[in-house]
């Protein structure tokens, strides 16, 4: 089976117009699966439930498979209701990003996808969730090809595997909004400052090393995870879907690059320089090789492909 | 039991004091100073304080268990990391060991491990670890329905009002953190440590592991703390330096250098005890299996005193200055916070 290409949910706070324009382009791209929804902060209200549904209809009409993503950190009762609303619609499959959503979906007998924040570290976890309706799971972003290989060998039949191959890595979630904190504002009066950072806010060490990226209550890597050179390895490991995480610029070109490599129209190497220029703070791939996530390995391409 | 307060209506304890024990002297310190329960870990990566020289082998565990049982104190085992591919057997053995020892409860985070425990030992009492990141009643329902958990420890990200809402709709009694080092991020969903070092609480049972820490003193007296070469903080001569936990360093955001995520600080809920009791919180946990027996003795004693004082007269209870002063001395950065319980912190 050919690997499918997915676009993860937009993790940043973009204006409604920016999102609508963005997805018009996505509709015409080579992407197979589109994840939609606000997964980071419930205060980001530019898009209402019906706006997401309209977008979903538009993308479906262009032949895209749409999955609705639920919030990752569910605390307030309003967040619970919102999670429930996404889980209780029957038009689209849901990506559960919290066990609360898994509970609602499995009780309703619906099949679902789990996002990378659902902790699956062993084959027994996969089996349990499959019995509860899991149809596709995302590999934890901190795991690499070695663990994936073992999980794939023991994966229950019929289960699909998805791996993130491009984007700043979601690393942590908090009750605290770090964007508001950086502006000396409390979360309850955040003034929606994060809408000014379409790719998050860089957090550097005092030696000017670009270390992390603040996105409201979420903390990401400053570096962009890039595994375009590992698509062949993923094919051999039986990965079904690879995920690109959207960014404010060049997402279409990134999709194009991955699509070309998956279709074997160009070798991965052809796109390295171009992709490097799209990652404004640099690339990393350490997690995939079992190292610190921020590491950029310098394994020559040929060796990496045969690994 | 001398120290405990039993609610005969709910059949549960109210503010049971759960204390950390990284080794036998700490366990004894906790028991001697008023713990209702202590929690321990075994000597491997099956628990989230996988540090050199810490934790219990079988002999020490048995000896600690006997010491606690003779004094009416319960012992829980934290098996609260995620079972790694190819290594599931270690988590299985940890569960088997806890069963053989007849510990009072297991504190688990991984659904695979929970599944093993409840399938093999249906009578074993399971608590949901904070590392399972369950912050809402629906998530708790999942663990209760599938693995029959009997209690859940909530992540340190909820406001008091939110704790109340979770407790109200939760299928199981709730335990919250009362004192100790503060995780700023939702536990079980923080990969900052593995991003910098390759080792995280989920995969290795340690955050900002000592193996990757560097302390570098410069000629001008400036001290730099690093984690796998990443500069976490820099201290001027005479400035008090802290361990480079990576969420508690000073970083630059928008050309401004400050504690971008959190300051070195400890959680202290002494002032919230009446509210936590009113909400119906079943147990209060002290963090710090990596800390000294002296720390465990002091914090256990103060929290015991505070809970007892509050129970006698909740209406007029106030956290005493001497308690707060003593706790400050063992707090990170010599300061404490109400953390997420207090909305403005967020």
In this predicted model, what pLDDT tens digit does every residue of A113-154 receive, in sequence order? 999 999 999 999 999 999 999 999 999 999 999 999 999 999
Q: Which residues contact B21 (CB under 8 A, 6 or more apart)?
A: B27, B29, B30, B38, B39, B40, B64, B289, B296
Per-domain boundaries in chain B: 6-182+265-345, 192-258
Q: List B residues 84-143 in contact with A (Cβ-Cβ < 8 A).
A: 84-86, 88, 109-113, 115-116, 132-139, 141-143
Tell me the C-alpha distance between A74 and A99, whole Å.
10
The residue of chain B with its CA nearest to that of A219 is B192
Please say if the pLDDT value at position A299 is more than 70: no
Nearest alpha-carbon partner for A105 in A132, A74, A67 = A132
* Residue for token pair 């060991």: B97
Res. A86: pLDDT tops 50:
yes
Which tokens belong to B300? 């256990």
Whether the CA torsion A191, A192, A198, A203 is positive or negative: it is positive
What residues of chain A lie within 8 A of the CB of B137, using their CB?
80, 100
Q: What does the pLDDT read at residue B5?
A: 57
Q: What is the mean pLDDT of residues A30-55?
A: 97
User: Residues 190..209 of B with a Cβ closer than 8 Å to A: which?
Assistant: 190-192, 194-198, 200, 202-203
Domain spanning A4-169+225-270 has what CATH number? 3.20.20.70
> Does the CB of A190 have a partner CB in chain B at under 8 Å?
no
Confidence (pLDDT) at B8:
54
DSSP count for chain A of H helices, then E strands = 11, 12
Shortest Cα–Cα distance, A292 to chain B (Å): 4
CA separation for the pair A212, A221 (Å, rounded): 5
CA A84 to chain centre: 21
Residue A301 in this model has a pLDDT that exceeds 90: no
> Does residue A18 belong to the interface with chain B, where contact is any CB pair within 8 Å?
no
Q: How confident is the model at residue A1 (pLDDT cuts 50, 70, 90)?
A: confident
Using the Cβ of A78 and the Cβ atoms of chain B, whether some distance falls under 8 Å is answered with no
**Best residue in A292, A294, A295, A296 to probe B by mutation, most B CBs within 10 Å?**
A292
Instruction: Tell me how far apart the alpha carbons of residues A133 and A238 are, in angstroms, rounded to a whole number.
Output: 21
| pLDDT tens by residue, chain B, 346 residues | 334 455 555 555 689 999 999 999 999 999 999 999 999 999 999 999 998 889 999 999 999 999 999 999 999 999 999 999 989 999 999 999 999 999 999 999 999 999 999 999 999 999 999 999 999 999 999 999 999 999 999 999 999 999 999 999 999 999 999 999 999 999 999 999 999 999 999 999 999 999 999 999 998 999 999 999 999 999 999 888 889 999 999 999 999 999 999 999 999 999 999 999 999 999 999 999 999 999 999 999 999 999 999 999 999 999 999 999 999 999 988 889 999 999 889 9
Whether A302 shows a pLDDT value over 80: the answer reads no
Three-state DSSP class for residue B225: strand
Tell me the pLDDT band of A303, cut-offs 50, 70 and 90.
very low
Reported ipTM:
0.96
Q: How far is B39 from chain A (nearest CA, A)?
A: 23
pLDDT at B52: 87
Q: What is the mean pLDDT of chain A?
A: 96
| Strand pairing class (A201-204; A210-215) | antiparallel
Helices B111-120, B137-147: axis angle to 10 degrees equals: 40
Domain B6-182+265-345 has CATH 3.20.20.70: yes
In the DSSP assignment, the letter for residue B156 is T
Report the pLDDT value the prediction gives residue B290, as an integer from 0 to 100.
94
Per-residue confidence (pLDDT) for residue B3, from 0 to 100: 43
Name the phi and psi angles at B148, rounded to 5. 55, 45
What pLDDT score was predicted for residue B40?
Answer: 97
Q: From CA A110, how far away is CA A114, in angstroms rounded?
A: 13
What region, left, alpha or beta, does residue A178 occupy, with left being phi > 0 and alpha being psi -120 to 50 degrees? alpha
Contact A219 B261 (CB under 8 A): yes
Strand order across the B213-217 sheet: B213-217, B223-227, B230-235
Task: Pull the structure tokens for residue B88.
Answer: 């599931």
| pLDDT tens digit sequence for A241-254 | 999 999 999 999 99
Q: Which letter does DSSP use for residue A185 in this model?
A: -
């Amino acid at each position: 089976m050919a690997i499918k290409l997915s676009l993860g949910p937009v993790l940043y706070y973009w204006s409604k117009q920016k999102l609508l324009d963005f997805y018009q382009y996505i509709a015409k791209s080579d992407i197979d699966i589109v994840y939609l929804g606000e997964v980071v902060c419930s205060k980001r209200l530019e898009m209402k439930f019906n706006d997401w549904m309209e977008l979903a209809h538009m993308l479906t009409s262009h032949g895209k498979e749409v999955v609705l993503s639920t919030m990752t950190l569910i605390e307030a009762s309003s967040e619970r209701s919102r999670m429930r609303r996404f889980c209780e619609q029957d038009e689209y499959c849901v990506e559960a990003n919290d066990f609360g959503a898994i509970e609602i979906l499995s009780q309703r007998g619906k099949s679902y996808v789990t996002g990378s924040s659902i902790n699956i570290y062993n084959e027994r976890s996969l089996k349990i969730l499959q019995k509860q309706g899991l149809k596709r799971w995302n590999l934890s972003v901190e795991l690499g090809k070695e663990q994936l290989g073992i999980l794939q060998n023991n994966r229950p039949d019929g289960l699909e595997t998805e791996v993130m191959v491009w984007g700043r890595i979601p690393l942590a979630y908090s009750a605290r909004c770090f964007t508001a904190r950086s502006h000396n504002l409390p979360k309850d009066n955040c003034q929606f400052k994060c809408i000014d950072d379409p790719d998050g806010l860089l957090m550097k060490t005092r030696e000017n090393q670009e270390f992390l990226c603040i996105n409201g209550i979420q903390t990401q890597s400053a570096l962009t995870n890039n595994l375009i050179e590992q698509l062949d390895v993923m094919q051999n490991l039986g990965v079904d879907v690879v995920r690109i995480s959207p960014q404010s610029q060049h997402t279409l070109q990134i999709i194009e690059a991955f699509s070309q490599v998956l279709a074997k129209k160009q070798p991965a190497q052809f796109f390295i320089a171009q992709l490097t220029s799209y990652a404004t703070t640099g690339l990393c791939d350490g997690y995939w090789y079992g190292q610190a996530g921020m590491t950029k390995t310098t394994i020559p391409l040929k060796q990496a492909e045969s690994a | 039991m001398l120290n405990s307060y039993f609610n005969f209506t709910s059949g549960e304890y109210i503010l049971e004091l759960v204390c950390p024990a990284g080794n036998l002297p700490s366990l004894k310190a906790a028991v001697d100073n008023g713990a209702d329960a202590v929690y321990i870990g075994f000597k491997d990566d099956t628990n989230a304080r996988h540090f050199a020289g810490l934790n219990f082998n079988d002999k020490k565990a048995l000896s600690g268990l006997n010491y606690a049982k003779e004094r009416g104190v319960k012992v829980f085992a934290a098996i609260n990391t995620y079972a790694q591919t190819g290594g599931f057997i270690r988590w299985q053995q940890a569960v088997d060991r806890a069963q053989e020892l007849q510990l009072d409860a297991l504190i688990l985070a991984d659904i695979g491990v929970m599944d093993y425990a409840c399938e093999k030992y249906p009578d074993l009492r399971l608590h949901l670890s904070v590392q399972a990141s369950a912050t809402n009643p629906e998530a708790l329902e999942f663990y209760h329905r599938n693995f029959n958990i009997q209690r859940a420890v909530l992540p340190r990200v909820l406001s008091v009002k939110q704790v109340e809402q979770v407790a109200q709709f939760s299928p199981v009694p709730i335990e919250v953190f009362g004192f100790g080092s503060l995780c700023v991020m939702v536990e079980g969903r923080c990969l900052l440590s593995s991003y910098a070092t390759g080792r995280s609480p989920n995969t290795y049972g340690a955050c900002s592991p000592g193996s990757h820490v560097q302390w570098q003193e410069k000629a001008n007296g400036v001290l730099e703390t690093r984690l796998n070469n990443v500069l976490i903080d820099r201290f001027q001569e005479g400035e008090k330096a802290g361990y480079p936990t990576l969420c508690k360093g000073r970083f630059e955001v928008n050309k401004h250098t400050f504690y971008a995520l959190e300051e070195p600080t400890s959680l202290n809920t002494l002032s919230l005890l009446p509210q936590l009791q009113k909400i119906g919180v079943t147990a209060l946990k002290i963090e710090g299996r990596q800390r000294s027996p002296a720390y465990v003795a002091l914090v256990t004693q103060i929290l015991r005193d505070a809970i007892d004082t509050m129970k006698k007269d909740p209406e007029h209870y106030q956290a005493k200055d001497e308690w707060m002063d003593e706790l400050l001395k063992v707090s990170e950065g010599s300061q404490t916070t109400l953390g997420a319980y207090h909305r403005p912190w967020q």
